[in-house]
Structure 1
Amino acid sequence: MAELLLGPLLRYVDASCATVWVETDAPCAVEVAGAKADTFEVDGRHYALVVIEGVDGPTEYDVRIDGDVVWPEPDSPFPPSRITPLTGDTLRLVFGSCRKPDGREWGPDALAAYALRLAEAGEWPDALLLLGDQVYADETSDAMAEWIAQRRDIGEPPGRQVADFQEYAHLYREAWSSPAVRWLLSTVPTSMIFDDHDMHDDWNTSASWRADAARTSWWAERERGGLMAYWIYQHIGNLSPDELAADDTYRAVVTADGDTAPILRAFADSAVEEIEGRKNTRWSYRRDFGPARFLAVDTRCGRVLQEPRGMLSDAEFDWIEANAEGDHRHLLIGSSLPWLMPPVISHLQSMNEVACRRPGLRGRVAEWVRRKADLEHWPAFRRSSDRLARLINRAADSGMTVCVLSGDVHHVYVAEAHFDQPTAARVFQLTCSPMHNAAERFLRPLFVMAWWRPLARVFRWLMLRSPEIEPLPVEWTKLHGPDFGNTIATLRIDGDHVAVDLERARGDSDRPRLEPLPTIRLN
């Protein structure tokens, strides 16, 4: 009999339907809540995404493989997994980013602490948003490195980093197999988007970074395997049943006979191509959560790296602008990278972007600094950052409260944006990172200083001395932070009222708990 290797993961949920993802160790038929799907095969591994329609109210479910119950596990201490349709005008969205697998050096895991509290008691969230670095392909655990060493020589590049699809599959299994987190992912709908460590630190920082990566003996297979794994483990679960039915790659995979790895290898190779400022694949997606529209923005693979650089292609930005429109009361933009950075860092990135265009030694030094100091957030793509600011300004003018939800930077802060003319609704940057990692201690005082207003004014003056840098279309003030430590955030929407709860993980790694930080009322 086939066995359940990973999952179930409850992914898409709306008012009447849901999808549940699983990985098994052999071909089989998977049944969830009366709905069935056959597994598809990729490089000898087996997966299914079960589409469940006609969900009427909260529904407890089990998972059956060829008719036998394989989930919940016998003697599980957790409540039954359930599907809860998304209805009503209130909304609770839990979000965060940057989670390494279990490791005492990173302190207590905020996501595991949240799962344990929810299992015991607590207000059930409507969805979980994982905003990047679900796995660390370039910073593997000792256990992962030992597993890699059993299949190849880690004395040769890329060493203990992930090299191909099979290693990515093991990496995801390590990240999502701890009992508390596995149960949480089975019962709370989860949407995801990737960031650099899902592939490689500084992934797509610049054209020179890509050129250097391409010259290595291992990068092409690493990126190919990473995008194949992302499509399977993260991306298809972000899509609605209608979007899945319309997706050519998904249809080709689930209807094919035999192993579909060649289909996904060709898809992955096409996804990284940049042709005349365009990308062949859009990883960004849209979800409607009751009174709010959520746009998950791909700030990594969608980048255009030839001049004029862009965080996204113009075509993808057109899609985002079109999907931001509507009669929803709240617009939520999920960007793994913060749009509004600590001001000193923001101004420095704008200056560095211009310096990178200089010919000769100055340009090469600026490019070295860009890559060494990770100066590749939204402000380092000012054309894109300013376009996003205009989009957000229009949305707020129309009466939508706008929240940009982000991670990546290993500290927590809340900031409010201000435009030249007052807007009808307010705009916020909410940054929550990490869930299970750490900012290096020497960086913490630098992050604090980067918010210091007198220093920010100096860097703004330096930035505007360049005739090539336009004045910023937005200013912002910090409402909370920076905080450090493993943290998880909950965005609460009730009608027009919006607030964010921040909670920091405390205790030991075996039994983490959450300690409340101040609740910030946004609206």
Structure 2
Amino acid sequence: MTAQLLIGPLLRRVTGDRATIWVETSAPTTVRVEAEGGASGSAPTFCAYGHHYALIVVSGLAPGSWHSYRVLLEDHEVWPVAGSPYPPSVIRTRAADDADQPVSLLFGSCRQATPQATGRQLPPDALDAYARRLMADPDHRPDLLVLLGDQVYADETSHKVRRFLRRNRPAGHDGPADQVITFEEYTKLYLESWRDPEVRWLFSTVPSVMIFDDHEIIDDWNTSASWRADMAREPWWRERISAGLASYWVYQHLGNLSPDELDADPLYQKVSAAEDATDLLHDFGLGVDDPGSAENTDQPYQWSFALDLGRTRLVVLDNRCNRVLTPGARAMLPAAEWDWFISQAHGDYDHLVVGSSLPWLMPPAIHHLEAWNEKVSESRRSRRWAAFGEKVRRAFDLEHWAAFGKSFDALGELFRRLGEGGVGAPGHRVGAGGAYAAPASISVLSGDVHHSYVARAEFGHAMATPVMQLTCSPIHNEVPLPLRPLMRVAWLPPVTRAVRGLAKSAGASKPLVRWKRLSGPYFGNAIGTLSLDGRHAQALIEGTTKDGRLHEVVAAEYQP
């Protein structure tokens, strides 16, 4: 049986003179990538759950160059597709000394499958629109696409996927009829979403990194300890969480790793060497489903990752899987992973960019509501009051950084120390006196909330480093019309003061940082670009018009 290319190629990491390319094929085969200029790489596929994947490391790329490439299965060329109307897929490398090169990051979150697959009348897909523009102007391609969660929706499936579930599930299956549960069902989500022609071309020519949010598993994943206890009682949950995390590792996380990190990842080495990695990945998915506890000193599998592009450091955080949910000790990251994050904040860079699927700075009234809810849900005075708080938490999705108050404050304190520089600050060292230089900018890229805005943090005193919240969501979805006025008024000072009073009455402390909205909110489909050049930063969020073009909707410029 001749293997075919099912999904891909996805250009993932470009590091120095090497690049990684991910593919899914229809049968076992050897995948070879040949790039212009003589660079190449090959890898056999590995098998899991009856599916076949490969991650190919292409070596020998010339620095500061563009390399068109082709993909072969055995000796049969499968990419570019014969007769394709799209421009060639290329690998662009940065100069060997790229300190003075600008950096451009494309970002966003929350992308449901194509309109043809969903059957919903959603506004035009912003990623499709960006791909079409890049085809017409390929010289302005970004350095990296940062996808910040909900790349697929396991709990909000299309008509096509639902038909598959009805036809293929065994009689008497007790799982939700319209949600995916097994690994095989998860593969259908990626197949319908990533074979969108424009997006497939975009993924083949712009490097990408990805982090999950809740919908890759289920809405409000790991909201609280009691939520986990309730889900654990569902007879289908173990299969769902195992398949969800295993498929995420294969389809999304593997490509986040550089070639050296792949060599050091013990799971990847076992999976790629196994004749059939199904049992390995099934057990892995169950084993990593543990957000940790205050007493647990074992370090969980780390989904967070970091990379450098020129003078920019990008750190992308796991806001979901490894949460600490122990009442009274709740944290967005377990201690070991927080320490790793702090270590990444040290270093020689000009711009720090933090990828967080959940916004750090929410509309202020919503922030105070979440702070109130955390105190009420952990009340020791009244079980009924705590139970009421838990019901409110789940009903209104109150589980962002503000609902993990200690983590919210710790992140703000880190940014303050970074932004002030000086002796003892966690920035990069300048000179022999122990002083540290403050970064030119700190930007938090986020999604999740289905609207876009830019806000600036204020720490109560003049600070050279601007600290910005850049939220861009959704790429292809929508927020219900009744919620839009609520999200607008949540920025208003009178509403903020009233909800802050409520939070104070429950014992929530005043945030250590204040923030001001500079632009937005915008509620349509959108994609964001963060451009970093020297000490200057520019954020641009573009929405889609009815005819599928992009136009500016939110913008901000900042520098020391």
- With the length of structure 2 as denominator, give the TM-score of the two structures: 0.90
Structure 1 residue 91, shift from structure 2 partner? 0.8
Amino acid at match of 1:30: V
**Count of paired positions:** 518
Q: Which residue of 2 aligns with 1:471?
A: 510
Q: State the distance in 2 between where 1:312 and 1:416 align.
A: 23
Higher deviation after alignment, 187-196 or 30-39: 30-39
Does structure 2 retain, via aligned residues, the 8 Å contact 1:277–1:306?
no
Q: State the distance in 2 between where 1:389 and 1:47 align.
A: 41
Q: Which residue of 2 aligns with 1:98?
A: 110
Q: State the distance in 1 between where 2:289 and 2:196 align.
A: 32
Q: 1:387 to 1:518 in 2, by over 3 A?
A: closer
Q: State the distance in 1 between where 2:493 and 2:172 align.
A: 47
Q: State the distance in 1 between where 2:459 and 2:310 align.
A: 28
**1:344-363 matches, cutoff 5 A:** 344-358=365-379, 359-363=382-386
Residue 117 of structure 1 pairs with residue 133 of structure 2: yes
Residue 53 of structure 1 pairs with residue 59 of structure 2: yes
Structure 1 residue 181, shift from structure 2 partner? 0.2
Match of 1:439 among 474, 479, 503: 479
Q: Which residue of 2 aligns with 1:208?
A: 226
* 1:243-289 Cα distance to aligned partner (Å, 9 max, x none): 11111101111122x11011111211111133534552110000111
Match of 1:235 among 218, 229, 253: 253
* 1:386-419 Cα distance to aligned partner (Å, 9 max, x none): 1111111122223111000000000010000011
Residue 429 of structure 1 pairs with residue 469 of structure 2: yes
**1:132-211 matches, cutoff 5 A:** 132-152=149-169, 156-211=174-229
Structure 1 residue 185, shift from structure 2 partner? 0.2
Residue 332 of structure 1 pairs with residue 370 of structure 2: no
Q: State the distance in 2 between where 1:268 and 1:516 align.
A: 41
Q: State the distance in 2 between where 1:37 and 1:224 align.
A: 26
Q: Which residue of 1 aligns with 2:269?
A: 251
Does structure 2 retain, via aligned residues, the 8 Å contact 1:154–1:160?
no
Q: State the distance in 1 between where 2:323 and 2:156 align.
A: 23
Q: 1:268 to 1:157 in 2, by over 3 A?
A: closer
Q: Which residue of 1 aligns with 2:455?
A: 415
Residue 223 of structure 2: SS of its match in structure 1?
coil
Q: State the distance in 1 between where 2:124 and 2:398 align.
A: 29
Q: State the distance in 2 between where 1:52 and 1:382 align.
A: 44
Structure 1 residue 2, shift from structure 2 partner? 0.6
Residue 295 of structure 1 pairs with residue 290 of structure 2: no
* 1:134-191 Cα distance to aligned partner (Å, 9 max, x none): 0000000111111121111598421110011111111111110010000000000001
Residue 62 of structure 1: SS of its match in structure 2?
strand
Q: How large is the Cα RMSD of the aligned pairs?
A: 1.4
Q: 1:364 to 1:216 in 2, by over 3 A?
A: same
Match of 1:507 among 546, 549, 558: 546
* 1:428-460 Cα distance to aligned partner (Å, 9 max, x none): 000000010000100000000000012112222
Q: State the distance in 2 between where 1:154 and 1:119 align.
A: 48
Structure 1 residue 346, shift from structure 2 partner? 0.1
Q: Which residue of 1 aligns with 2:396?
A: 373
Structure 1 residue 423, shift from structure 2 partner? 2.1
Amino acid at match of 1:9: L
Residue 39 of structure 1 pairs with residue 78 of structure 2: no
Q: Which residue of 1 aligns with 2:490?
A: 450
Residue 455 of structure 2: SS of its match in structure 1?
strand
Higher deviation after alignment, 9-18 or 335-344: 9-18
Q: 1:4 to 1:313 in 2, by over 3 A?
A: same
Residue 63 of structure 1 pairs with residue 102 of structure 2: no
Structure 1 residue 518, shift from structure 2 partner? 4.7
Amino acid at match of 1:70: V
Q: Which residue of 1 aligns with 2:16?
A: 15
**1:72-83 matches, cutoff 5 A:** 72-83=80-91
Q: Could you tell me the percent identity over the aligned residues?
A: 47
Residue 373 of structure 2: SS of its match in structure 1?
helix
Structure 2 stretches lacking a partner, 5+ long: 35-39, 422-437
Structure 1 stretches lacking a partner, 5+ long: none
Q: State the distance in 2 between where 1:105 and 1:199 align.
A: 24
